């Protein structure tokens, strides 16, 4: 583990008065969450260890296509970079890592120039780029967010994967995706690419102790400690509400720190966390075990003995009487009603996401998200909107897409048309007709 020296914060000027932000309130040198990840902040969690070891082995000595899956924010980008850096230190293999621009999608020209090892080069065809990449010496290509790539880029990858021979000296290909590309019904090109994969890896969520480790390390690098900033009850609630996803943890912590500053909380408590995520559900009342008195138990024993005697009597009577006469053939058994055929059965209604949150909490999440947008805090708004959207709220999905849409993003906040495109599509699938209009407008930009 690398040790990072944190510069001391300059003391506040005399007479500066009350703190003006949560950094001053909690004595932090810089925002601990939401910054660009680097080698100093990367943590190899035990939950991800097997995945990255298999990834390194494939890049260093494997061949063909490997798919890395995991939900958005789980750490796929950092995992790809860490694997490429580890291989580069141990071998002289040329590794090409392709990530999409922060505010858009990667283009075919950018992908072609990356295959050639000449970023920004123009005038080369896709076929020439594939031929040059397959030529010795052996290379490795790692691509992030393949599910957000345009179709022409995906078709190039399909052609490349089809032409990779199954030899140890052949190139290794790795594509990362937030969605399940093996079942991408809306993108048959992605499903075709996934069918060529020789292996699929999935990054799991972090374990509870790893969530705490991530929070503690992030605060420590920024000059704070959890012992001074977060009490035990708040930490338990943060672990439960984060879902084990690093990006979600960062967004939640950023929103909680801002809420603590707004509330004037000198320490983050469970009430501070609940002000962002909503109140916790009340515990279910537990049933009391049924207690039997001695009289009740004795009565049950007598009843059981009586039933046993009655059953034995019926059995003896039936055996002494002889075989039971069967009804004559003239008396036919009533016909069983035919089951309705599949053709007569109406098709089942389209499945809708199950709402896992009460309506009052959904409304509170939307309200707090709107307030965060009004304050220019896109990170907090996205956290709140996404929680409601994941529970089935179409307006929340549309509102979340708008935070990424260049036409609606707050000034100074980075936009992301690709993410906006995906969330508009989800909002449309959830039943918001406004999302279709906004989607068409975004595509026409």
With CA atoms as reference, report the closest residue to 61 among 91, 17, 34, 82.
91
Q: Report the relative pairing of strands 64-69 and 139-143 from DSSP bridges.
A: unpaired
Domains observed in the chain: 24-40+207-277 (1.10.8), 46-202 (3.40.50.300), 359-443 (1.25.40.10)
- Inter-residue contact 382 to 255 (CB < 8 Å): no
Say what the pLDDT of residue 6 is.
Answer: 40
Token duo for residue 227 = 């012992």
- Inter-residue contact 181 to 146 (CB < 8 Å): yes
Q: Report the relative pairing of strands 64-69 and 197-202 from DSSP bridges.
A: parallel
pLDDT band of residue 12 (cuts 50, 70, 90) is: very low
With CA atoms as reference, report the closest residue to 70 among 53, 48, 49.
48
| Alpha carbons 19 and 213: distance in angstroms, whole number | 28
pLDDT band of residue 326 (cuts 50, 70, 90) is: very low
What would the mean pLDDT of 299-315 be, rounded to a whole number?
A: 51
> 286 vs 48, which has greater pLDDT?
48
Q: Label residue 29 exposed, middle or buried (CB < 10 Å: 0-12, 13-18, 19+).
A: middle
Cα Rg, the chain, nearest whole Å: 31
Token duo for residue 196 = 């060529």
> 196 vs 371, which has greater pLDDT?
196
Q: Which residues of 226-262 are buried (b: 16+ CB within 10 A; e: fewer)?
A: beebbeeebbebbbebbbbbbbbbbbbbbbbbbbbbe
Say what the pLDDT of residue 5 is.
Answer: 39
**Does pLDDT of 427 surpass 80?**
yes
- Average pLDDT, whole number, for the chain? 78
Q: What would the pLDDT profile of 51-106 be if each residue is shown by its tens digit?
A: 999 999 999 998 899 999 998 889 999 999 999 999 988 888 989 999 887 667 78
């Amino acid at each position: 583990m690398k040790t990072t020296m944190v510069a001391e914060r300059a003391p506040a000027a005399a007479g500066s008065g009350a703190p003006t932000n949560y950094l001053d309130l909690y004595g932090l040198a810089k925002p601990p969450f939401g910054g660009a990840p680097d080698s100093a902040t990367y943590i190899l969690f035990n939950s991800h260890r097997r995945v990255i070891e298999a990834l390194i082995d494939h890049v260093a000595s494997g061949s063909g296509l490997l798919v890395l899956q995991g939900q958005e924010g789980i750490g796929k980008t950092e995992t790809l970079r860490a694997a490429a850096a580890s291989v580069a230190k141990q071998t002289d293999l040329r590794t090409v890592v392709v990530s999409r621009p922060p505010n858009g999608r990667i283009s075919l020209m950018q992908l072609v120039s990356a295959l050639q090892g000449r970023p920004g080069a123009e005038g080369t065809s896709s076929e020439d780029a594939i031929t040059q990449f397959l030529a010795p010496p052996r290379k490795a290509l790692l691509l992030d967010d393949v599910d957000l790539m345009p179709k022409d880029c995906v078709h190039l990858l399909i052609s490349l994967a089809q032409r990779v021979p199954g030899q140890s000296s052949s190139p290794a290909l790795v594509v990362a995706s937030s969605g399940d590309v093996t079942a991408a019904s809306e993108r048959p090109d992605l499903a075709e690419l996934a069918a060529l994969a020789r292996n699929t890896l999935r990054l799991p969520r972090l374990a509870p102790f790893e969530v705490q480790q991530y929070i503690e390390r992030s605060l420590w690098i920024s000059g704070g400690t959890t012992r001074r900033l977060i009490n035990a009850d708040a930490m338990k609630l943060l672990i439960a509400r984060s879902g084990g996803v690093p990006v979600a943890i960062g967004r939640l912590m950023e929103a909680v720190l801002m809420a603590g500053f707004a509330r004037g909380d000198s320490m983050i408590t469970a009430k501070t966390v609940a002000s962002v995520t909503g109140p916790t559900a009340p515990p279910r009342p537990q049933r009391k075990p049924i207690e039997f008195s001695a009289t009740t138990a004795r009565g049950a024993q007598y009843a059981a003995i009586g039933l046993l005697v009655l059953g034995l009597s019926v059995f003896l009577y039936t055996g002494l009487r002889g075989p039971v006469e069967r009804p004559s053939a003239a008396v036919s058994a009533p016909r069983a009603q035919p089951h309705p055929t599949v053709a007569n059965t109406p098709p089942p209604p389209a499945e809708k996401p199950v709402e896992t949150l009460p309506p009052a909490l959904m409304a509170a999440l939307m309200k707090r998200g709107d307030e965060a947008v009004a304050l220019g805090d896109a990170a907090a708004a996205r956290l709140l909107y996404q929680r409601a959207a994941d529970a089935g709220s179409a307006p929340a999905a549309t509102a979340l897409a708008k935070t990424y849409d260049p036409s609606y993003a707050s000034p100074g906040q980075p936009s992301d048309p690709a993410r906006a495109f995906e969330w508009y599509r989800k909002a449309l699938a959830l039943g918001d007709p406004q999302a279709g209009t906004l989607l068409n407008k975004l595509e026409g930009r």
